[in-house]
Structures are given as C-alpha cells and as structure tokens.
A and B are shown apart, each in its own frame.
Chain A
C-alpha cells in the first residue's frame, strides 16, 4: 500500500513536470509580446520606445535563456514563493489565499447540490429502467448536459432583471463575515453549475447500477426469494458504492472546469476568473502557477479516489 502511494506520487510528479514544460513553452510561443502589453497599459496612443521594452524584459527576467527562466519558474513553484502578477503587481500567494476559498466553496456547493439530486435520480433510473420514470429522468438529465451553463445563467440574470428587479450581487462577502449574504450570493451560480454536474452524476450512476443489477449475485438473491427492498439495499446499493466514488471524484474535476465559466458570468473573484484574466494578458507567472495548481488538485483527487476504493472494497489491494 505504502509503495503504491509512493509510486502514484512519483507518477504524479512526472505528470506535473510534463504539464509544467508544456504550459511554460505554450504561453511563450503564443503571439503577443508581454513587455509590449505592460508598456501599453494606460496607453494614450504614443509610440512605445524600444528601450522601455528592453528595460521591462530585463526587470522581469524575460531576456534570460529559456532554461534559466524555466528553472526560476520551478524553483518559485516548489518553494511556494510564487512571485507577483506582471500587471497588478500583487503577490500570487496573496491572491491565491483570497481566491481559492471562492472557487472551493462554489465547487463544494454545486457538487453537494448535484449529489443530492443526481445520485437518487441515477439510482431510480436504474431500478426503474425503461419505464416512463427512466425516460423522463433521462430527458431531464440529458438537458443538463446540453444546456450551456453560461446560457442558463444568462437567462436567470435576464429574468431577474426584467421581472424581479434583481441582479447578481457584485461585491463579494466572505462566509465567515456574513453567512446568509454569502449563501445568497452563491445560490444561483451553484445551482447552474450543479445542474450540469447533476446530469453527469445521474447518468454515470445509472449505467453502473445497471451493471450491478445484472450480476449473478443479484439474480441469486432474487431467486432465493428475498424481497425487492432487501435485494436493493443489501446487494445492489452496497456494490454500487464504488462507482459512486468514481462518479463523485469525476464530477469534482468537472465542476472545476465549469467553475471557470460560472465565475466569469456571476463575477465571482475565484481562481477561474483569475486564470482567464491572466491568459488574456499573458501574465506568465499567474498562468504558470494556476495551471500547475489545477493539475496538482486533480492528481490528488484521483489518488484519494483510488485509495478510497481500497478502503471500500476489500478485494482491491494495491501493491
């Protein structure tokens, strides 16, 4: 088990290394000169002098050879001293401390909302396969996958503005200061994101439950005369637990991607918002660190999922 964890962590480091090289090269290949963008901040149409650009590049270390720049990047990532944004000048660590809770709360809320609907719905679909309940639920959950969440959010905001004189709150409040204000701020973003996540959960759970329902031991349980309820609770649900863990961890990652758009629409100052802003301005240090952080979380989530398997299913022993 220990050896397995160590091996997985080493593999994770390899993956992060590949990601870091890719992202490092990609943003530098991208068209657009970051020094020019910094120089033209608050631009009044004047021509920017070459000396200024050279000075900026020197200040930011952009004139160094690529391997040196890469080394600096890795050193700053590993020592957790992530440097500053090229544009705002704010330390990335500080921004992270402020923005991570926002994204984290959005993800937790939407996954919880999704689970409370999606898991029972998926189980119901499987148990009542090919009845009208199954069909209705499939039509509903497929809609969750198909409706872009930036559109459902747009509709909510439009309807709110037109009929209820309501607009999403602009200013952010922390959950520790004002729990009710905070939750009302998150309710719509979490619902729109949660709907899409719910759809995936329900569909994945349905298919894995169906697989369990077709196992020999379920047929045996039926044929030895157990009633429907006992079969479901004792044999089906217990064995469907593993897929549920997969489904949840998969959808956490899904919510991570979806949060980028949701934050954008509802003006939540989270990590996704930060990343989009940084990308459009070629804010190298921010893009590099944030992408690496996303990768890190995903690796950890996947590792925890696999370890949870071993806890839940004694047949699985990693060695």
Chain B
C-alpha cells in the first residue's frame, strides 16, 4: 500500500498533472479540492478569514465602541456573539481580530522566513567562515523553545503590533534558513551551477536565477506551516499580555487579563476568541499539509 503511493507520486504523468494545478488557477483550485479534500476545507477557512479581514468595516461595527447599558450581554439579535465586560460587541471584535491575526501572520512569515531564506542561500553559496558565523547564531537561536524566544524579544522591544511582528519574524528565521541552506548546498554542486560560473555569471545572478528557483518549493512548505504557528504565537503573546496592546481586538488578548474574571458569568467571552484562533490555525495547517503533499510527496505528513 505504501509502496504503491511512492510509485504513483513518481509517475511523470501524475506529476505533470500536479504541476498544472499551479498554471491554471481556477481549474487548479477545483482539482486541488478534489485531490485533497482536507486541504480544500483549509482553503475555505482561509478564504472566510480573509473575507472577514478585508470586509470588516462592512460586516461589523466599531470594535472599540463601549456601551455601558449592554455589559456582558448574552448573544442576541443585536449582539450576535454577546458583549464583553465593557459592553463592546464581540462579533465586531472577532471580525476585526481576524485583521490583526492575518496581518501579523502574513507579514511575520514574509519577513522571517524570507530573511531565513536569504541567510540560508548566502551561507550555502559562500560557505567557509560566513556560513560558520551565520550558523552559530542560528544555533543559539535554536537553543530556545520558540515561544520563550518570542517572549524575550517582545519583552525587550516592548508591546506593540509592529514589535510583535518583528519578534515572531525573528523566531522563524532559523528553520527557514536551515531548510533552504540544506537544499541550496546540494544545488550548488550541480553541473549547471558550475557551468554558470564558468561562463562568468555574477554571484548574485547565480543565486537568484539558478539556485533560488530550486529552493522555492521547500521554502513554500516551511512558510505555509509557519503561518499557523505565527498566528498561534501572536495569540499566546497577546494572551500573556505581551503582544498586541489592550484596546485592540486581538483574539489572544481578548482571553487574557480581566476577561478571565467573567468566564463563569459570561462563557461567550471565553468561547468565541479561542474558537476563532483554533479555526484560523486549523485552516492554515490543513492547507499547509495539503500544499506540502503536492509540492513534495516525499515529505508527506511530517511535523
């Protein structure tokens, strides 16, 4: 059974079909959903989250508007998800919270995994003392559990949206750089790279045109897995009171601090934010898993 699927995934016909997915987008999405139903569910969740984030002003009211006549009101037609201890509408806060989560997620992955990619590429290409130096720093960064590293950085920089993004980005550098580096090390030895050197290509050109395209697939796999983790880390930091500062409707922050005193009287305050964190992360993870299966059949189901 297992051997069967190996044969399948190395079948050139099937592989061509997999590659087509990315060429023809609308049809590709259909095929993706058909081939990976769980990935399709993930994609759907992602699209809903993006919709919430983009159209927040249309579908929700002001998330900071307090209403002291409507404190800790149960879910009703007026307040779909109920209100919190300051009478703020939880539906609006959840919708706007999607903005923060996705913003932090995408930006931190772009910066973090992007920087990691460059470090890995440069280290692998030049080797020698540059590589050793970079890898020692990466080692030191990896000697922390990632949450503790993020915590330390945020504690250093102080609270704030941009600082949270920076902290989460830094945490992602080591993994991306390791993966890209190991891939790039193998590609550096390829004949076509030697050939490019022989005809006098500049270093940057070899890196950008000959090596980079070959590391894009593993990088995408890492980055898509990192998105869910980034959102989870942001939520954890905000929960600890070290993330996005208070009045902003960050999902993690909505579960922390004084809100905890109201759980027994207003369980909806405990349920919605956490549910949406879990849903968003779940969606990203499902989608990332499916993407990895398609991009790299050898890595099925790792991590």
Contact = CB atoms under 8 A, between A and B. Distances in A.
A207 interface: yes
Contacts of B147: 257-258, 260-261
Interface in A263-300: 264, 275-276, 279-280, 287, 291, 294-295, 298-299
Nearest to A296: B143
A26 B152 contact: yes
A204 interface: yes
Task: With a 10 A CB-CB cut-off, give which of A135, A145, A295 has the most chain B CB atoms.
Answer: A145
Interface stretch (B2-10, B21-29, B56-64, B193-201): B2-10
Nearest to B264: A161
B112 interface: no
B232 A148 contact: yes
Looking at chain B's contact residues, is the secondary structure mostly helix, strand, loop, or mixed? helix
A70 to B, nearest CB: 16
Contacts of B232: 146, 148
A150 B279 CA distance: 15
A261 B256 CA distance: 12
B33 to A, nearest CB: 16
Given A151-B278, A256-B145, A26 B153 contact: yes
A22 B286 contact: no
Interface stretch (B154-162, B183-191, B216-224): B154-162
Interface stretch (B89-97, B121-129, B294-302): B294-302
B274 A151 contact: yes
Nearest to A196: B232
Contact of A14 (B5, B136, B263): B136
Interface stretch (A27-35, A87-95, A177-185): A27-35
Given A26-B152, A151-B255, A158-B263, A210 B2 contact: yes
B267 A148 contact: no
A146 B232 CA distance: 8
B165 interface: no
Contacts of A257: 145-148
A142 B264 contact: no
Interface residues of A, number: 63
B235 interface: yes
Contacts of B139: 11, 15, 18
B285 interface: yes
A13 to B, nearest CB: 12
Interface in B1-51: 1-3, 5-6, 38
A139 B286 CA distance: 9
A31 B155 CA distance: 9
B274 A19 contact: no
B144 A298 contact: yes
Contacts of B303: 200, 203-204, 207
Interface in B219-236: 228, 232, 235-236
Nearest to B1: A129
Nearest to B275: A151
A207 B298 CA distance: 9
A20 B143 CA distance: 11
A27 B3 CA distance: 53
A147 interface: yes
Task: With a 10 A CB-CB cut-off, give which of B239, B277, B285, B301 has the most chain A CB atoms.
Answer: B301
B282 interface: yes
Nearest to A26: B156
B151 A279 contact: yes
A155 interface: yes
Given A30-B158, A146-B281, A207-B299, A130 B1 contact: yes
Interface string A140-176: 0011011110111011011001100000000000000
B278 A146 contact: yes
Given A207-B301, A207-B303, A261 B239 contact: yes
B275 to A, nearest CB: 8
A264 B158 CA distance: 20
Contact of B264 (A130, A162, A276): A162
A57 interface: no
Interface of A: 11, 14-16, 18-19, 22-23, 26-27, 29-32, 125-126, 129-130, 135, 138-139, 142-143, 145-148, 150-152, 154-155, 157-158, 161-162, 200, 203-204, 206-207, 210, 213-214, 219, 253-254, 256-258, 260-261, 264, 275-276, 279-280, 287, 291, 294-295, 298-299
19 contacts: A11-B139, A15-B140, A19-B140, A27-B156, A30-B158, A129-B5, A138-B289, A147-B274, A147-B278, A151-B255, A151-B270, A152-B274, A154-B274, A210-B301, A257-B147, A257-B148, A279-B151, A295-B144, A298-B145
Given A18-B140, A27-B155, A162-B267, 13 more contacts: A16-B143, A147-B274, A147-B281, A148-B277, A148-B281, A154-B270, A162-B264, A200-B303, A203-B301, A206-B301, A213-B2, A256-B145, A261-B239
